Amino acid sequence: MTFRRLLGLCASLTAFAMASPAWSATITIATVNNSDMIRMQQLSKEWEKETGNKINWVVLEENVLRQRVTTDITTKGGQFDILTIGSYETPIWGKQNWLVPLDDLPPSYDVKDIFPSVRQALSANGHLYAVPFYAESSFTFYRKDLFDKAGLKMPAQPKYEEVKTFADRLTDRAHEQYGICLRGKPGWGENMAYLTTLVNTFGGRWFDEHWNPQLDTPAWHAAISFYVDLMRRDGPPGANSNGFNENLALFSTGHCAMWIDATVAAGLLYDKSQSQVADKVAFTAAPIAKVPNGSHWFWAWALAIPSTSKNVAAAKSFLAWSTSKDYVALVGKTFGWTVVPPGTRASTYANPEYLKAAPFAEFVKQAILTADLEHPTAEKVPYTGIQYVAIPEFQAIGTQVGQLMAGALTGQMSVDEALKQAQASVKATMEQAGYIQ
Amino acid sequence: MKARLATLLAWVIALLNVFPLVWMALASFKTEVDAIHTPPLLFFHPTLENYQAIFALQDYTGYALNSVAISLGATLITVLIAIPAAFAMAFYPGPRTRDILLWMLSTKMLPAVGVLVPIYLLCRDAGLLDTRTALIIVYVLSNLPIAVWMLFTFFRETPRDIIEASRIDGASVGETILLVLLPLVLPGIASTALLLIILCWNEAFWSLNLTAHNAAPLTAFIASFSAPQGLFWARLSAASLLAIAPILVFGWLSQRQLVRGLTFGAVK
């Protein structure tokens, strides 16, 4: 081989190496199956093309996903490179060093563009452990056609007493029209998410400053009695089986006059292909009872990298891409601005195209900005989280109390009895876990 | 009159049984809004959009191949282990055979989630997470009690004299099982194998927990279409129909063998 040929071969190899990606990896992402994530799945081909990496998607239902990723991360199974987790898990897992800190994202990512309340919810010990894909709060949806017909006017900041009056007026059981639809399905993320905001605004709290459960207090009693009474008078039958999806189906098929739930439902209710009441729906703030604290919740679905990942660099690259301003713009251009991931970035809410396409945008932004995770209740508490308590024991506690509240709703037991049992059960768990000596 | 009533009753029960499947099949051709319409729609404009979306989002073939490989692999190994075990228990019972049989069955009473963490850790340490091998091992172990019990029942129906005669004629244990016993109880073995395939095909707990992407079978495929937000009934129905289609066809084709096996020895 002549020197010239050898030189040519070297040049060709160098050119080939330069044309190929510097590294390529296959990452596995565990995620939930909702429309935002499906869009991300479709658009992720762009990232694959750009970087030469490949993605394996593991898409699961929310509760299955939670169990699956919890098993994997606690046993250090290392099955996933990116996890979709919520604002409840992120600080708990971050404190355990189960997640890779994301403090070194490139300047172009503009971390400060993410709403401070969202960043705060996804941080622990001063480190950001997950980046938000979308965030939500809760507010009140109502049917403006039914309100107009009945001569009622929904205030900008409704009170629960007003909600009760409206619900009484608008219930027409003969035509399967119910004044109000609220979550009744037991679960810490189902009925207890809503009920915790209700208790907050009635002036209650889960625990006092010393972690003593407060479920037998007058505030809890007033809140749960109000809920049970309202749902029995004006709620749909079988309400103890209704979670977010069931109520969404009821509202979107015209069976509910009011519904207090996640702001993310706005995009679905305004979508004519999914909702029969798209041109009749309106929204206002979540109602308050006695105090404004914690009357509307905060939740974010976020992407995090488990510390067991073997492809941290590729995973970080994907996180930065899929939660960036450019990604928001890509969704807007590809699928329309109504469906861009809401609630995360200030720049999204400064975009005139988004504001024009999503009439609920400003409301959602205000709800998210005013959701105060550090001070969720009127009285002092030792925990963070509005519709949950950010401690590992809360999943079990919340679900157990949720079952008792569902029992009170169906009339299996009285509110008094349900709260008494709930207090005893939570106290036992907290003692066992060492919070109370 | 009595026969007519019996026929009518049979039809009612059959229709009640098949109704959920038919409703699911109908829902899979509806739009999401039609699927949740009240009152439910019997007549609607059928659409294939759910199937198109499913094929665009997920690799159905990959999941189906995993289901076939895992179900057939686990069933084959289970039957191969269960035949000699059931043979020994049916024809050469010891003083503790009945206790062993009951103990085997009692292992099925343990909720699977109770052993999730130890099995997950074992699979992790053996490098078996997200492999078909892990699922095959778990399915073999969890279905073995059922297989042994079923085969034991079928074997017991076989006259002991035939087995003894073959042994007197000089046949080894292996030859007795292969050449004498198996041809006699083939319908029973076939129905046991069919039941095992169905159990493996439908198993969701372990398949969701021990697999991620590479070894995920059709149960994981269905789970990916249940959504926490938004309407999903129509798409989930389409995914469910696709997931059960192969086993439905398989069951249909082998129903004669299955019925023959299940009624084996029932009438003497």
Q: How far does CA A38 lie from the centroid of its chain?
A: 16
The Cα of A262 is separated from the nearest Cα of chain B by a number of Å equal to: 10
B57 touches chain A (CB under 8 A): yes
Show the tokens assigned to B11: 């039809």
Yes or no: say if B74 and B215 are a contact pair by the CB < 8 Å rule: no
CA proximity to A81, closest of A105, A63, A57: A57
Asked whether residue B209 carries a pLDDT value surpassing 90, the answer given is yes
- What confidence score (pLDDT) does residue B264 get? 60
Which residues, in sequence order, are bridge partners of residue A28?
A56
- The boundaries of every CATH 3.40.190.10 domain in chain A are 10-129+298-361, 137-297+375-432
- What confidence score (pLDDT) does residue A80 get? 96
| B contacts of A265 (beta carbons < 8 Å) | 229
Asked whether residue B66 carries a pLDDT value surpassing 60, the answer given is yes
> Which overall architecture, per CATH, does domain A137-297+375-432 show?
3-Layer(aba) Sandwich (3.40)
Residue A82 phi, psi (nearest 5): -135, 135
pLDDT, tens digit, for every residue of B25-64? 999 999 888 887 777 888 888 999 999 988 888 889 999 9
The residue in chain A having the minimum alpha-carbon distance to the alpha carbon of residue B204 is A64
Task: Give dist(CA A207, CA B48) in Å, integer.
Answer: 52
What does the DSSP assignment read for B90-112?
Answer: HHS--TTHHHHHHHHHHGGGS-G
Q: Peptide bond preceding B95: is omega within 30 degrees of 0, i.e. cis?
A: no
Task: Give dist(CA A389, CA A387) in Å, integer.
Answer: 7
| A contacts of B229 (beta carbons < 8 Å) | 34-35, 244-245, 248, 262, 264-265, 268
B135 touches chain A (CB under 8 A): no
Q: Which amino acid is at A414?
A: S
Task: Give dist(CA A348, CA A134) in Å, integer.
Answer: 11
What does the DSSP assignment read for B112-179?
Answer: GGGGHHHHHHHHHHTT-TT-HHHHHHHHHHHHHHHHHHHHHHHHHTS-HHHHHHHHHTT--HHHIIII
Residue A113 phi, psi (nearest 5): -75, -20
| Probe site for chain B from A59, A242, A256, A274 (most B CB atoms < 10 A) | A59
Residue A303 phi, psi (nearest 5): -110, 135
- Interchain pair A77, B124: CB under 8 A: yes
Show the tokens assigned to A283: 């929204």
Q: How far does CA A373 lie from the centroid of its chain?
A: 13
- What confidence score (pLDDT) does residue A182 get? 97
- What confidence score (pLDDT) does residue A17 get? 42
When comparing pLDDT for A264 and B127, which is higher? B127
Asked whether residue B105 carries a pLDDT value surpassing 90, the answer given is no
B229 touches chain A (CB under 8 A): yes
Show the tokens assigned to B209: 């927990």
Confidence of residue B263 (pLDDT cuts 50, 70, 90): low
Complex ipTM value: 0.77
Three-class secondary structure of residue A50 per DSSP = helix
- What confidence score (pLDDT) does residue A37 get? 84
When comparing pLDDT for A203 and B251, which is higher? A203
Please tell me which of the candidates B32, B224, B228 has its beta carbon nearest to residue A274.
B32
Residue B225 phi, psi (nearest 5): -110, 5
Mean pLDDT of chain B: 89
- Interchain pair B116, A41: CB under 8 A: no
Low-confidence ranges of chain A (pLDDT < 70): 1-23
Q: How many CB atoms are located within 10 Å of the residue B167 CB?
A: 15
Task: Give dist(CA B31, CA A31) in Å, integer.
Answer: 24
- The boundaries of every CATH 1.10.3720.10 domain in chain B are 60-262
- What confidence score (pLDDT) does residue A23 get? 58
B22 touches chain A (CB under 8 A): no
Q: Give the fold, CATH level 3, of B60-262.
A: MetI-like fold (1.10.3720)
Q: Which residues contact A3 (CB under 8 A, 6 or more apart)?
A: none
Task: Give dist(CA B229, CA A265) in Å, integer.
Answer: 8
CA proximity to A123, closest of A372, A325, A302, A369: A302
Q: Which residues of A touch B (CB under 8 A)?
A: 28, 30, 32-35, 38, 41-42, 56-62, 64, 67-68, 71, 75-80, 176, 244-245, 248-249, 252-253, 255, 262, 264-265, 268, 273-276
- Interchain pair B36, A249: CB under 8 A: yes
- Interchain pair A252, B124: CB under 8 A: no
Rounded to an integer, the average pLDDT of B160-185 is 89
Q: How far does CA B172 lie from the centroid of its chain?
A: 33
CA proximity to B137, closest of B129, A67, A71: B129
* pTM of the predicted model as reported, rounded to 2 decimal places: 0.81
**A10-129+298-361 is classed CATH 3.40.190.10:** yes
Task: Give dist(CA A345, CA A313) in Å, integer.
Answer: 24
The Cα of A345 is separated from the nearest Cα of chain B by a number of Å equal to: 21
- Interchain pair A57, B130: CB under 8 A: no
Three-class secondary structure of residue A284 per DSSP = strand
Confidence of residue B109 (pLDDT cuts 50, 70, 90): confident
